[in-house]
Structure formats: C-alpha cells, structure tokens
Structure 1
Amino acid sequence: MTGAPRATGTPGATDAGEPALDFDKLFAARLQAARARPYLATALFALHPVESWLVPTMAVDRHWRCYVSPAFVSRTPVEELAGVWVHELSHLLRDHHGRSDRVARERGLTGPGERLRMNIAADCEINDDVFGDGLVRPEGAVDPGALGLPEGELMEDYLRQFGLGPYTEALAWLDCGSGADGLERAWDEGPDGAHGLSAQERDAVRFRVAQGITGRPGSTSKGWRRWAEEAFHPPQPWRDLLGAAVRSAASAPGAGEDYSYGRPSRRSAGVPGAVLPSLRRRPPRVSVVIDTSGSVSDTELGSALLEVAAITRAVGGRRDLVTVLSCDAAARIVHPLCQAGGIPLVGGGGTDLRTGFARALRARPRPDVVVVLTDGQTPWPSSRPPCRTVVGLFPRKRRARSWDEDDPDHVPDSPPAWARVVEIG
C-alpha cells in the first residue's frame, strides 16, 4: 500500500482499509528507549514522527523528522520498536547524511546503489553496540559480523570493505532515509516542512546528548563515548585545510591511482557506444608530527589523537596514507596509522620539531602534506619544506617570554610564514 505521506501529531483519518498509525504504541516504544538509554532522551523527544505509507519501516531526514509506516508499527513488538527509535536517531546524531555526502563527492560514488552501500555501512557502525541492556535487536538488523567485517569501525571504513553482491541482496529493502545516506526521498518534507529542526537546534540537541554521555561514562558504549568526545572537541576542518594538496595531487601528471566507471571519461564522447573509465586521483599522503615535549599536556595529546582521526577521514578513510611521528627534541618512530588510540606518543623532554620535519620528509614515498600539532615552543626549519605544511597550535596564553631551561630570556619564534596556521580548540 502506498499513498502521500501524512504528517500528524495525533491519529487521524485514513484511507479505506488502511490502519491508522498507532501513536500510543509508537510513543510507548520511545519512552522505553529513553529509559534504556537516558542520555539519548533529549534527542529522542526532539525527533518528530511523521506518518507515511511510502517508507518500508522507519526512516529519518536531516531535519530530524522520523517517517513511520503504520503497518510496520502494527506488526512490530514495542520492545523492537524501541531499538528502531535509537537506531534511526543514531544516524542523525552521528551525522551520517553529511558524512555520506562528503564520501560521495570524494570517491565519485553516485546513484542509489552506492547510497544503499552507505546505508549498510552506517548501520554497521551503529548496530555493533546499540542493542542489549534493555534494547532488543530488531529482526533483520545489519551488523558487521553478518558481512564478515570487524566491529568498532566507522562508516567510512566499512564502505571500503564490501560491495553489493549476492550476500547483500537480502538487504535491498533497507532504507533509513536521507538522514542516513544524504539522498533525498520522495516522502521528505524538506527544509521548509513543518516540525523540522534548524541547524542551531540540531547542534543544541547534540550538545545536550554529549553532556549526558560524559556525565555517565560507565553506562555508555565505546562508540558513543568516542562520539561525545568529538562533539565537545570538534576537530579542525582538515578537508578544507588539505584541499590545496588534494587539488595539487589531482592535477599532477601521473597522479591517478586507478580507473573507475563511477565517473565516465570525457573521451567516451569520441567512442560512440562505449563507456570509458576515468582516472581516479588519490588523496594526499599526510605525515603528522605530534609535539610530545614536556610543555604539552596529556589533554592536548588526547586532542592530537582526535585530530589524527579527523585527518584520516579527510583523506577518505585511507589509513595507509597517514603516518604519525612523535617528536620532542628528537624524532621518534614513524607509525603507519592503524587506530589512533594505539599510537604510542613517546617524549617528554625539550622541543625541537626540526628533527620531526627532517624525519617526515625522508619517508618514501614522500608526503604531500606535513601536519604539525604543537604548542609552538620550538625552533622551526630555516627553509620551506618541499610540500605543503599545516601547523595546529594548542591554545596558550601568549606571553612576552617563554621559559627555557637553558635560556630564561628565550622568546619562541612564531610559526613561519610558509605554514598554514590554525588553532586547535
């Protein structure tokens, strides 16, 4: 049965033969979800339900409306509906629509098939830790194990590890809406529809949820704690900061890494009846130098690891393109990135990041970008490195003079003019 979506806050008249949406049952499930996950209560009650016969189950849009199938509510137990409420809400809190849009642009992914893959990958990120402890796993819920994938990874990671095929054929029905994959649906009411949240209201809800999670850390999963940390410490927009290097890599001769049919070659016009693949450009290789001197606090080192995770997402989740080097007065071991939490940050002495620059630039292949995360209490290279450089400065109360064990009158140099400088909040 299909029909035009009807938005209503109370049960209303329905077409002949169509059961009305059971709001009592739907709201009872939402209350049960809030009891099982009290730190999500603010967000659960900010999500506005919209009755729709176009959705297969429940789906969300980026404006925080939840489109609900009356038939799905009728046949689903309250215990399972509670889990679906939390599942759909998780897509919005984790900004899966915005992340999917970015991945689509960066990787040249187009069409509903690729958006279905993004929905599946987003579900894998959510479902490995959302159920249990009072929330029943709904029938047909996708988790990483069903696809032979490891738990605890992000949507961008899962997206690289599977394609559509016979083993995903049973998931063709899956549709969590534009709030999960960014692709507008026929039932979406858009930014001008009723009961949508503004960008400021959405941010306020996320902030309240993050406060609830950090206030009761023992009762939340690792995935939600990671999300809350980033909500309070939004990493720098590395996608923009690395944009010049991405454009440089894309325009350089021979910089292509592989061919893709996701975006046909312009030469296809000269070969009627044939579609030629285009050369896919690789994101930049990034070397991250982290200042581990004694003047950098443990909190700032934790912030540095969050920035490393954000840089990894900025290069499309390609961990093989990111290396991390800890440096105080001497450069330490260069670590290829596996997981940011497993990077040993060794140091604690004085500071001389010139050794870190030299070590990073000796790598083969050489990085396209060097990112330095530091408090700025260091000498800088005398000449510009042969690649783009971004300096992330930990905030400091700027003083006329800075303490130095060998020279009490030492005045640290400002970062050089050839580096792009940003403050790490």
Structure 2
Amino acid sequence: MTADAPATANTANAPVVRPRRPLDLDKLFAARLYAARARPYLATALFALHTVESRSVPTMAVDRHWRCYVSPGFVDRTPEEELAAVWVHEVSHLLRDHHGRSDRFAREHDAAGPGERLRMNIAADCEINDDAFGDGLVRPEGAVVPEMLSLRDGEPMEDYLRQFRLGPCTQDLAWLDCGSGADGLEREWEWGPDGAHGLSVQERDAVRFRVAEGITARPGSVPMGWRRWAEEAFHPPQPWRELLGGAVRSATSGAGAGDDYTYGRPSRRSVGLPGVVLPSLRRKPPRVTVIIDTSGSVSDAELGSALLEVAAICRAVGGRRDLITVVPCDAAATIAHTLCRDEGIPLVGGGGTDLRTGFAKALRAQPRPDVVVVLTDGQTSWPSSRPSCRTVVGLFPRQVPRSWIENDPDYVPDTPPEWARVVVIDQASAAR
C-alpha cells in the first residue's frame, strides 16, 4: 500500500482527459427526417448522402462524391431545427453542381488559391440561402445571405462572384468551409474519389433527376430558385455556339470525292505499295450561304449576334471569306453579299418575314452553296421541299409566340422543318 502512494499522488496531479463523445447519429438523423418533411422534394437527395464523422470540419461539409462530413461538437450544440436547415443547405450545394460551376469559373477567370475558393463558397451560399429558410426551416446561426454583402436576392453564384471581393465585409466568414462539394477544392480530410460510399456520376444524375421530378410535380410550394433549377435540370442550357459550329462542320464534311490531289496527306493505299507514296484527294472548301432574318420581329441585339455567327462560320471554313455569302431577308431577298468586300454587310429590312425568298436567292447562286445557314427567330414560312444542300437553322428563342399578321391575332409560326438541323441560340451566353 505504501509503495502505491506516490503513484496515487501523481495520478491526482495529472490533467483530466475527457473521452471524446461520439457523433450523435440519433439527433443527426432525426434532423434529416425533419428536413425531408419540411422539403419533401429534396428527400431523395437528403437520404442519398453518406454521413462521415469528422472533427476537421467546423460544422457540416460535403464532397463532390456525395459524402457529408459532420462535426460531433457541432451536432451536440446545435438545435435539431437548425441542423435540419444545415442538411438542406449542404445537399443544395451538390444538387446545384456548385463544385463543377466553381471549377469552370476558376478556369475561365484564372481564379486559383484558397482565397478565391472561399469567395466561391460564399457566393454559392448566397445563391442557396436567399430563399432556403422559412416554411418550416429556421435560419441557422451564421448563415450567409446576400444582404450581408449588400447584394440582391435571386441571383446565381456566378453573378454574385462578379459583385464582391474579400475584405472587411467578409473577414468574419474565414471559418466557412462547406467542402469540395461547394467550391471544387479537395480537402485533406476528404476521402477522395476512391473512398467508400461515393456515388457514381450516373447515380448523382439520377438523384438530380428525381429531385427535379418532385419539384415540377408541386411547383406551387417550391421557391422560385428551385423551380428555375428544375427547369434547367430537364432542359439544360446548350453550348449553342459549339453546336452551331459542329452542325456546320457536319454539313460540310459529308462523303464525296475531292477535286484535287495533294501529297500533304498521303493516301492510305500507300500502305499496300511499299516504297511508293500516293497522293490523297483534297476536298474543296465548302461554300456557305448565311440567310439572316432582318424582319421587324428580330431585335438589334439578335442582328448583332447574327453577325458574330457569320464571323464564327468564316473561321469554321478556314477563314476563306470569299466562300461565305450573306443574304439579308425579310419578306424579300434582293442582294447577296460576299464577305470578301471591304465594307460591312448592310442588314436591310424591317418588314414582314418570308425566308422562302432567301432560300430561293441562295439556291440560284452560281456556284451553288454546299451549306445554307439560317439565323432567324422562326417567325416565318419555310420551303415546302428539302433544299439540294444541307441546312442549319440558328433559332433565336421566343418565350411567347408573337403574331406578325394583323388580320390573324391567333397566328402561330411554323416550326423549322425536320430536314433542317436546328440549334437554339442563347443570347445571354453570347453577351458574356
């Protein structure tokens, strides 16, 4: 007993080490159920997340593989109602593809480093939190909302990023860390692409589609931001400039014999004749006629976009301006302009629309075009038969059909014919 006394004294003087409390899964999952009841259209996404206990995150965070990292201390000190709102917030980052959008923004604007990624996290939070709370969800303590940065509600993350910089108004947000699922930057404490319980790309897309279905099924009870997201999930914005260029290239690269020989690219038949180099046939550059709708239904901004597309088409055919012809057309087409002229292309018009005259003008030209590209809002009649060359239609979108026939207020224009390759032109993307 005497020999044990010093040990007892040392033990009494040693610091007390409290055992770490494990993650309270009952409370955490009860909060998730609370969130699913408050936002039933997000239930599929909420229950698709795999929970990971982590003491490296300040609150809760997600990675791009749909894992949710949770701080045990944060769960202990946070009321269940606030935890439910945090669940909704974190899964919103993944549904809205904030990691992918942040990566694209970083590439386009050369935005590298933790500071820029923090700025992306803040902007993503503003996009989510402007209408995330209320109707059964309380705002968590410290939630970032646009008004804290003197920003307007209802804008996308990319627009918020253009409106603020890190500074005094954001110095209290340095702790913010929603994980790579919010800003695309992987953390040391994340499990990475090879970790367990991550969702595949196909599984993530399936979750998004199910959530979008749930939103469109009950639009009256869903915030506007989520309704816009669901509409884009079903009809994602197309990279129309790439599609238009691809359609032109496809139309000009059909099978057919070339018109001259070249040794710049030896024929594949040379393989069967050792020691002999055979020339290959060189395809002639395509001739392209661009019909531009100059009627009164087409705005000046759309005409400006049309001229930009003419320049892009010229690049697609190797810069041969002499092979590009522009036909302005409203109710009639009188002049065909070639791009080799020094002066600009006059886009004369402003009356009614009948692009059939533009097609007739283009197809009467000698030599005949290989491709006809039509840039229009669609408020026109179309040829009844397929032209003798490939046709690509760049369509300026119309939210509501507009009538340009005074005697028929119920007039709805014909849709482009099936024989034309149709690409919808996104003017908002063109302006950027």
Q: TM-score range by the shorter chain?
A: 0.5 to 0.7
Q: CA deviation at 1:422?
A: 5.9
* Contact preservation (8 Å) 2:32, 2:84: yes
- Match status 1:333 vs 2:335: no
Paired residues, number: 287
C-alpha deviations, 1:357-388, integer Å up to 9, x for none?
Answer: 99xxxxxxx9xxxxxxxxx98646959xxxxx
Equivalent residue, structure 2, for 1:251? none
| Pick aligned residue for 1:199 from 201, 211, 227 | 201
CA pair 144-239 structure 1, distance change in 2 beyond 3 A: farther
- Match status 1:222 vs 2:188: no
Structure 2 gaps of 5+ residues are 1-16, 247-290, 303-326, 336-343, 345-353, 366-372, 395-419, 426-432
Equivalent residue, structure 2, for 1:92? 94
Q: CA deviation at 1:167?
A: 1.0
| Pick aligned residue for 1:83 from 77, 82, 85 | 85
* Contact preservation (8 Å) 1:123, 1:143: yes
Q: CA deviation at 1:187?
A: 1.1
CA pair 43-239 structure 1, distance change in 2 beyond 3 A: farther
- Match status 1:37 vs 2:35: no
State the AA in 2 paired with 1:53. Answer: R
- The correspondence of residues 361-376 of structure 1 with structure 2, limited to 5 A, is none
* Contact preservation (8 Å) 2:60, 2:69: yes
Equivalent residue, structure 2, for 1:112? 114
- The correspondence of residues 85-164 of structure 1 with structure 2, limited to 5 A, is 85-164=87-166
Report SS of the residue matched to 1:59: strand
CA pair 418-46 structure 1, distance change in 2 beyond 3 A: closer
Report SS of the residue matched to 2:52: strand
| Pick aligned residue for 2:65 from 53, 63, 86 | 63
Q: CA deviation at 1:237?
A: 3.0
Q: CA deviation at 1:85?
A: 0.2
Equivalent residue, structure 2, for 1:5? none
Equivalent residue, structure 2, for 1:286? none
Q: CA deviation at 1:334?
A: 3.2
Structure 1 gaps of 5+ residues are 1-14, 245-290, 292-324, 337-351, 359-365, 367-375, 384-388, 395-402
* Structural RMSD (CA): 3.9
State the AA in 2 paired with 1:114. Answer: E
| Pick aligned residue for 1:180 from 168, 179, 182 | 182
State the AA in 1 paired with 2:185. Answer: L
CA pair 68-154 structure 1, distance change in 2 beyond 3 A: same
1:239 and 1:417 map into 2 onto residues whose CA distance is 13
Q: CA deviation at 1:58?
A: 0.3
When the two structures are superposed, what TM-score results if normalisation uses the length of structure 1? 0.60
Q: CA deviation at 1:333?
A: 3.1
CA pair 163-421 structure 1, distance change in 2 beyond 3 A: farther
CA pair 239-69 structure 1, distance change in 2 beyond 3 A: farther
1:106 and 1:53 map into 2 onto residues whose CA distance is 34
C-alpha deviations, 1:204-244, integer Å up to 9, x for none?
Answer: 00000000000000000000000000111122135855999
CA pair 422-65 structure 1, distance change in 2 beyond 3 A: farther
When the two structures are superposed, what TM-score results if normalisation uses the length of structure 2? 0.59
State the AA in 2 paired with 1:61. Answer: D
- Match status 1:231 vs 2:233: yes
CA pair 390-37 structure 1, distance change in 2 beyond 3 A: farther
- Match status 1:213 vs 2:179: no
1:144 and 1:87 map into 2 onto residues whose CA distance is 15
Percentage of pairs with the same residue: 67
| Pick aligned residue for 1:170 from 165, 169, 172 | 172
> Which deviates more, 89-98 or 415-424?
415-424
> Which deviates more, 234-243 or 40-49?
234-243
CA pair 404-152 structure 1, distance change in 2 beyond 3 A: closer
Q: CA deviation at 1:200?
A: 0.3
* Contact preservation (8 Å) 1:235, 1:424: no
* Contact preservation (8 Å) 1:393, 1:424: no
- Match status 1:23 vs 2:54: no
State the AA in 2 paired with 1:111. Answer: G
Computing the radius of gyration from Cα coordinates, the structure with the larger value is: 2
